[in-house]
Amino acid sequence: AQSVTQLDSQVPVFEEAPVELRCNYSSSVSVYLFWYVQYPNQGLQLLLKYLSGSTLVKGINGFEAEFNKSQTSFHLRKPSVHISDTAEYFCAVRRSGGAQKLVFGQGTRLTINP
């Protein structure tokens, strides 16, 4: 079975500052990794995904994440945030090549202050 831990439930940052949202996972098999974003009163939208290949993946809205197999981490980063990035962010995993079930972390609420 897979599990995901998002290490911060809330992250407040100032506008134009860099941000890192941390995600660690546990799995005995190979996994695919995802970050989803949920804007207020909306559904989830895929930000980026890691399936294989380069460990640095780039997504929408200037976000990127790095897959670190030895540390079982998939941290999300953005060099300069905007007010519009205020949202809840979810890290998720699924077994590679297997069922499409996603296992989600608890979520991190990112608040951007002017």
Partner 1 sequence: EAQVTQNPRYLITVTGKKLTVTCSQNMNHEYMSWYRQDPGLGLRQIYYSMNVEVTDKGDVPEGYKVSRKEKRNFPLILESPSPNQTSLYFCASSKQGANEQYFGPGTRLTVT
Q: Kindly tell me which of 54 and 70 has the beta carbon lying closer to partner 1.
A: 54
CB 83 → partner 1: shortest distance, Å? 22
Residues that bind partner 1 (CB under 8 A): 4, 6, 9, 32, 34, 36, 41-46, 49, 51, 90, 92, 94, 100-102, 104-107
Give 3 or 68: the residue with its C-beta nearer to partner 1. 3
Residue 37 CA: distances (Å) to CA of 28, 40, 69, 78, 97: 26, 10, 23, 13, 24
Strand intervals (E) in the chain? 3-6, 10-14, 19-21, 23-26, 31-38, 44-50, 56-58, 64-68, 73-78, 87-95, 103-104, 108-113
Nearer to partner 1 by Cβ, of 45 and 113: the residue is 45
Nearer to partner 1, 29 or 51 (CB): 51
The least distance separating partner 1 from the CB of residue 88, rounded to whole angstroms, comes to: 9
